[in-house]
Structure 1
């Protein structure tokens, strides 16, 4: 598909939810440093002329390797004390996609999602079958202990106590549902891509799968729009959130920021869910809507300067980016 040359852009998230200002300065510094590194690694690929897909994978792999995020190392624990990981990738230019769900030994699930897309006839693989495919593809497998962090283990213990008390506190209950990393990118050839990776929700049971690996729910890209979501997955699945945002943009000609806000800040909360998303269109416009206390988020444009923000009232620099031009009058709804 031919595209006009554009300035490359990369946008990332490290999860939305109960993000309060009680992080230690050291932890906050580490989180910001990891997000900055993810932006720089992804941007380096874009600058080298690589694809949006390459940039998304590079950025997400950095976050999967960092224990501060609920993806890869540092993933949350299930009710049974295990780590079950999900990831998805989508190439907007071709609509090719790959996803994995419920894997327990894959060091970088986003790399396996790409292998599913490029080297299998399928879109989504799960569990033991996905890990058998990983072995065939030479994707790094690790002992389950690799994913364990004490902070996540303590989160599970608190959640199990809530289970036993049968009196869930709203903050603990809500916090269970958050934690995802994702990226969306636009490359110099005008191609878009989206990817998402997660450890799911603390205390999840019965092999629960959220929206992250479901194409159209937590991850979606086409030739005009790319979205990665983070939030209460059940609501993103029911609204097909990522796909819906892109359809508003590409089919209904709704400006990106408005399209993203209508789904993330209106529809999902009206149903009782919450969360956030990152979205990017083919002109390089960025939207980062969220309806939670905060969201780990960042972006980098043509000037190569990384912008990173955490808290809800913190300027993430997207106000500098011009709004999309209004649609032609005959296209207005």
Structure 2
């Protein structure tokens, strides 16, 4: 091939590559549940500021050409470090007065995944979940073994007192009082089942990733583990879809919620808002559960349905501006006709 023609061919290839470049998108949540409008202005401002920072820090990774998993872990780390969220620093107390954390990550293009459960000293469980995915032959590690692996990998460990906040302590004291007064069992008290942070991202190469981190359920017993660290239940990603859930974990496990959403998108070719709403707003409530989720497809379409009073949620895309919402009447990019609504009994 003559030099001039070669130049034209290479230029054409370059233009084609640029044409098919994907616009990065990042979506996050900070938990769904009983989120009342009587939240103090100071706390609401702090929550919105933390969500915005998480979006900005995560999106900076995407703008720099980094993979989706970098954006997911960067965003979730911000939320784990903020005591306003039930993950990392703000984790709730178990019945025995401990902070017990779970987390998971997954890459859609390779189906690589890593998760941890029942850790007490890991400052950022999401980073340990990623280390499990990248530096071990396993998918899930738990308890002391997970923390031994964290030490080997140089993951930051802290004294358990780091996770103690007065707000979570008071919530635990209230729960213990209800236990002593023989108030309804925790399985009947849905307010205890919420509090998770998560992120899903689409990078410029068109690859998806998902991650979720949680402090679990207030007053939980017997080493209970929810859906967040279970691949397919609260966290899942494949080549066409990424999901992070937040809600009553037992129901997300029983429905394999995140995986089911992604199968509807990738196998049945359902739009991601419809697929997500069918699981979150129909299937889970029909069984007695509730909660929310964020989802993202390979074309950058977003869904964030929930059937509770509110869900801390945010997104950032081509405009580079972080968008944050809390309550059920605030707009989000998945609002459109044809998405199944939540049953009125769960509102």
| TM-score category of the 2 structures, normalised to the smaller one | over 0.9
Q: Is the 8 A contact 2:186 2:192 kept in 1?
A: no
In the other structure, the counterpart of 1:208 is: 224
Q: Structure 1 267/322 Cα, relative in aligned 2: closer, same or farther at 3 Å? A: closer
Cα distance in structure 2, aligned partners of 1:38 and 1:285 = 20
1:299 paired with 2:315, answer yes
What's the CA shift for 1:247? 0.2
In the other structure, the counterpart of 2:332 is: 316
1:187 paired with 2:206, answer no
In the other structure, the counterpart of 1:90 is: 106
**Secondary structure in 1 aligned to 2:36?**
coil
Counterpart mapping for 1:163-242 below 5 A: 163-168=179-184, 173-242=189-258
Cα distance in structure 2, aligned partners of 1:72 and 1:142 = 11
User: In structure 1, which of residues 65, 69, 74 is the aligned counterpart of residue 85 of structure 2?
Assistant: 69
Shift >4 Å, 4+ stretches: 169-172, 321-324
In the other structure, the counterpart of 1:99 is: 115
User: In structure 1, which of residues 52, 60, 64 is the aligned counterpart of residue 76 of structure 2?
Assistant: 60
Gaps of 5+ in 2: 1-16, 340-347
Counterpart mapping for 1:1-333 below 5 A: 4-168=20-184, 173-319=189-335
Cα distance in structure 2, aligned partners of 1:284 and 1:64 = 25
Q: Is the 8 A contact 1:285 1:323 kept in 2?
A: no
Partner deviation per Cα, 1:182-210 (whole Å, 9 max, x = no partner): 00000000000000000000000000000
Residue-pair matches, total: 322
Partner deviation per Cα, 1:142-175 (whole Å, 9 max, x = no partner): 0000001000011111111111111239999211
In our comparison, the structure showing a higher alpha carbon Rg is 2
Q: Is the 8 A contact 1:99 1:125 kept in 2?
A: yes
TM-score norm. by structure 2 comes to 0.90
What's the CA shift for 1:316? 3.0
Structure 1 window deviating more from structure 2 (307-316 vs 85-94): it is: 307-316
Cα distance in structure 2, aligned partners of 1:318 and 1:222 = 20
Q: Structure 1 172/26 Cα, relative in aligned 2: closer, same or farther at 3 Å? A: farther
Q: Is the 8 A contact 2:273 2:334 kept in 1?
A: no
Cα distance in structure 2, aligned partners of 1:132 and 1:167 = 39
Cα distance in structure 2, aligned partners of 1:42 and 1:256 = 22
**Secondary structure in 1 aligned to 2:189?**
helix
TM-score norm. by structure 1 comes to 0.94
